Amino acid sequence: MTRLAKPKLVELGLVVQAARDDARVKQKELASALSIVPSTLSSYEHGTRAMSEEMALNIDHHLKSSGVVHRAWKAAHKPAGVPSWYPEVEHLELMISELREYQSQVIPGLIQTEDYARSANFDTSPGIDEAELNEMIKSRMRRQVILENNPPLIYMVLEATAVTRVIGSRRILSQQLDRVLSLMENRVVRVQVVPPNPGTHPGAAGPFRVYSFPDKPMMASAEHQQGEIQMDDSRRVQACLAVFTAVQAEALSPRQSAEFIRKVKEELDE
């Protein structure tokens, strides 16, 4: 699929290209050393895909470039109101026909209330100022437009912890769970909850999403502390699908999940 280049990522990509040229390493050789396909490295170098900090460090290591790429990565990822990966996620979601999401710690951003989103982002972004926080919340709320008027099929599997964890306050969590129940009742999203201590934990590697499109190959994305990394390699996407199927098998049915969520909300309201 076609991605728009972002100025900061273009600058980072030029640094990667220059470092690779200086080391006289071909794109195919570096991609092999990094265990990625050449098209992924090409997208890094053209600024159409965000790379992780670990990837920047690995590129420096393989090119022996004395931290040049890592320094450029840090420059490209200085706080600028909205994380660099937000616009890409928003763009992806506007094009999907189906979304599968697994979350282990919080209610997914796509169905968060504004108060819950504000509290969650404040807790996970130490040092953030009010203007930056407001921009992040606006971006998250904009994404929810896909829930209106013929939404895509959305399947979400949440660990019980994501439902019971108080974020912001008991009132904020109660209002958030009320929204989840409303979306479930109106068949906007299908939510299933993995009960506490199910016996196996296939989602231990962390939250992820799998995107299906009507006319393009599937993609996946995985969350990390500084944002989210997109994957279009078919083997990795299939691996994410397999994990989603496994966690879904451990989860309660949608009806049982609604009962679980409703009980948590009632306890919060008492």
pLDDT tens column, 43-88: 999 988 889 999 999 999 999 988 899 988 988 876 544 455 555 6
At 226 the pLDDT is 59
pLDDT of residue 241: 95
What's the token pair of residue 202?
Answer: 């296939």
Averaged pLDDT for residues 216-237 = 80
pLDDT band at 222 (very low <50, low <70, confident <90, very high): confident
Residue 217 or residue 108, greater confidence: 108
What is the rounded average pLDDT of the residues 235-258? 95
- Domain boundaries defined on the chain: 7-76, 86-269
Domain 7-76 in this protein, CATH class: mainly alpha
pLDDT over 50 (residue 89): yes
The band of 2, judged by pLDDT with boundaries at 50, 70 and 90, is very low
Q: Please report which confidence band the pLDDT of residue 227 belongs to, taking 50, 70 and 90 as the band edges.
A: low
| pLDDT band of 92, cuts 50, 70, 90 | confident
Q: What is the pLDDT of residue 5?
A: 55
Whether the per-residue pLDDT at 254 is higher than 50: the answer is yes
pLDDT attached to residue 157: 98
Give residue 136's pLDDT.
Answer: 84
pLDDT at 203 over 90: no
Rounded (10°) CA dihedral 30, 34, 40, 42: -20
Q: What is the pLDDT of residue 101?
A: 97
pLDDT tens per residue, range 135-160:
888 888 988 999 998 899 999 999 99
Q: What is the mean pLDDT of the chain?
A: 88
pLDDT digits (tens, 9 = 90+) for 103-129: 999 999 999 999 999 999 887 777 777
> At the top level of CATH, which class does the domain 86-269 belong to?
alpha beta
Q: What is the pTM of this model?
A: 0.67
